Amino acid sequence: MPRPALKDKRREQILRSAERCVAKFGVEGTSLELIAKEAGLARALIRHNVGNRDELITALFERFLNRSTKQWAALEKFLPDQDRVDALIEFLFSERPNDPELVLLTEAMIAYAARDRSLAKRMQDWLNEPIDLFCDILAREFPCSDLKTVETVAVGILGIYFNADSFALAGELTRLKQGSKAAAQILVEGLKGKSSNC
């Protein structure tokens, strides 16, 4: 039996290889054989360290969701104490390069979850994380705005961000990024107007 540290390292290697395969071939097109080839390991080692295909897909979803939760938490910590909304929008729509593999992986996970009730529920919870985060940031900066309007703006900003992000594979999209940022700022302006009247 492999040492725990080796098993953890091998599991990480396998899941990272599985992510690359899912990004290329989708969940349905990813087999243990493809993952083994990508990882440079025997198929038996895939099963030994992660399990059968269903267990591997479950582990992959857990990894994806956990990483996403950590990324949103890191973003919240990264934002300054003042002008958090402006900093949030600046970050979301900056010209930083997107990770095309992560975009493909996310799209594959969403597509696969549409066919599995328990995974669909997990993906809905995943989507609620940034909505809740954005609502919290907006509500603190615009305390006079009603919560329904705050949530509408939060959902709008997230929708604009996901839409722009989904085109990352097409290369440089300055016009889309700039227009998306401006649209998000217009949504926020509506909250600024309400806050100035309280």
Q: How much is the pLDDT for 34?
A: 95
**CATH, range 1-61:** 1.10.10.60
Residue of higher predicted confidence among 5 and 21: 21
Going from the C-alpha of 57 to that of each of 91, 110, 165, 189, the distances in angstroms are 31, 13, 24, 42
Residues sharing a CB contact under 8 Å with residue 88, sequence separation 6 or more, in sequence order: 75, 79, 134, 137, 157
Is residue 193's pLDDT more than 90? no
The tens digit of pLDDT for each residue in 135-189 reads 999 999 999 999 999 999 999 999 999 998 888 777 777 888 899 999 999 999 9
Is residue 49's pLDDT more than 70? yes
Q: How much is the pLDDT for 5?
A: 76
Q: Could you tell me what percent of the chain has a pLDDT over 90?
A: 74
Q: How much is the pLDDT for 16?
A: 96
Confidence band, pLDDT 50/70/90 cuts, at residue 194: low
CA distance 32 to 52: 8
Is residue 43's pLDDT more than 80? yes
Residue 156 φ/ψ, nearest 5 degrees? -60, -45
Confidence band, pLDDT 50/70/90 cuts, at residue 36: very high
Confidence band, pLDDT 50/70/90 cuts, at residue 198: low
Q: How much is the pLDDT for 118?
A: 86
The tens digit of pLDDT for each residue in 92-122 reads 998 776 788 888 999 999 999 998 888 899 9
18-27, 72-81, 173-182: least confidently modelled range: 173-182
Domain span(s) for CATH 1.10.10.60 in the chain: 1-61
Q: How much is the pLDDT for 95?
A: 74
